[in-house]
Amino acid sequence: MARALKIGIGAVAFLALLFWAAGLIPTGKKETPPAGYTPIRDDTLAAAFLPAFDCPPEFGPIIAVYYRAARDASGTLHIAYHRVWTREWNDAKDWGPALSRILYTGGLSLQRAMFGKGDIESVGLSIDRQGGKILEVDYETAANYNPASFSVKHQNIVRKGPLDPPLRFKVVSWNHLFSLEEGAGVPPAGSAAAPTLAYFTPQLWAEYAIWKNPETLVRKDRAHFIWERGSAP
């Protein structure tokens, strides 16, 4: 028994060492903020287009909402909204969720090691130059979602407008992916009040390790858009 325990501890230590070493090996993918985008900071404008989010209690409360914005060379406005949760956690009763809790979201905490603290997801809006209509919305949903599975498959959705603000989303998975709901962007009755919208400052950007630049074999960028990589004063 003692010998088996020592072997098990040694195997875990070896895997941890491999994971740490992989975190030091860059993938060679080093990027710069794209040309043609001018970062802007406008709290009033960002608040006017802020989507409403319905998050079921079992997925945990939204603890913060941050935004970044930029204008492209044509004058189109782009705003990204980032909802923040304390963690990802799947409470479903099956071996897949149990393994996820042991390896990914708890136990070894690979999620934090790979991405950073908490969980952050993003929704991007493109808005016409007069600021009246949403031309496009970009977000991720859960494809063929099954809470009994170990992981969730991300599916990128780009919906063309024009759409009237505010939009309304529902959180549909334990890892906080979304569906775009029909109807006015007001929270359903009984929903918890959303945190105050704030600008995603460089300090917070670094704290949540959004853009690794470069990524490594195990340290990966978090959900964001490339035009967010420049910050406004």
- 87-141, pLDDT tens digit by residue? 888 888 888 878 888 886 777 777 777 878 989 999 999 999 776 899 999 999 9
Whole-number Å distance between alpha carbons of 70 and 72: 7
Does residue 166 have a cis peptide bond before it, meaning omega lies within 30 degrees of 0? yes
pLDDT band at 43 (very low <50, low <70, confident <90, very high): very high
Phi, psi at residue 79, to the nearest 5°?
A: -130, 130
Q: What is the residue whose two structure tokens read 């359903």?
A: 188
Q: What pLDDT, on the 0 to 100 scale, is given for residue 25?
A: 53
Can you give the pLDDT at residue 192?
Answer: 53
Task: Average the pLDDT over 22-33 and give the result.
Answer: 54
Q: Residue 115 has what pLDDT?
A: 77
* CB hemisphere CA count around 52 (13 angstroms): 18
- Between residues 12 and 160, the one the model is more confident about: 160
Burial readout 191-225 (b: 16 or more C-beta within 10 A, e: otherwise): eeebeeeebbeeebbeebbbbbeebbebbebbbbb
Cα dist from 138 to 80, 104, 167, 168, 178, whole Å: 9, 26, 12, 13, 11
> What pLDDT score does 8 carry?
42
Q: Is 18 exposed, middle or buried (0-12, 13-18, 19+ CB in 10 A)?
A: exposed
The rounded mean pLDDT for the chain is 82
Backbone conformation region of residue 131, classed left if phi is above 0, alpha if psi is from -120 to 50, else beta: left
Average pLDDT over residues 47-51: 94
Instruction: Decide which of 132 and 12 is more confident.
Output: 132
| pLDDT band (50, 70, 90) for residue 32 | low
CA distance 208 to 193: 23
Q: How much is the pLDDT for 19?
A: 42
Domain boundaries, the chain: 2-228
pLDDT tens profile 184-217: 555 554 455 568 999 999 999 999 999 888 787 8
User: Does the pLDDT value for residue 1 go beyond 70?
Assistant: no
Strands 168-171 and 52-54: parallel
Predicted pLDDT at 111 = 73
Count the helices and strands in the chain (H runs, E runs): 5, 10
Q: Is the pLDDT of residue 6 over 80?
A: no
| Residues 160-191: tens digit of each pLDDT | 989 998 899 999 998 999 999 976 555 554 45
Q: What is the pLDDT of residue 206?
A: 92
pLDDT score of 107? 72
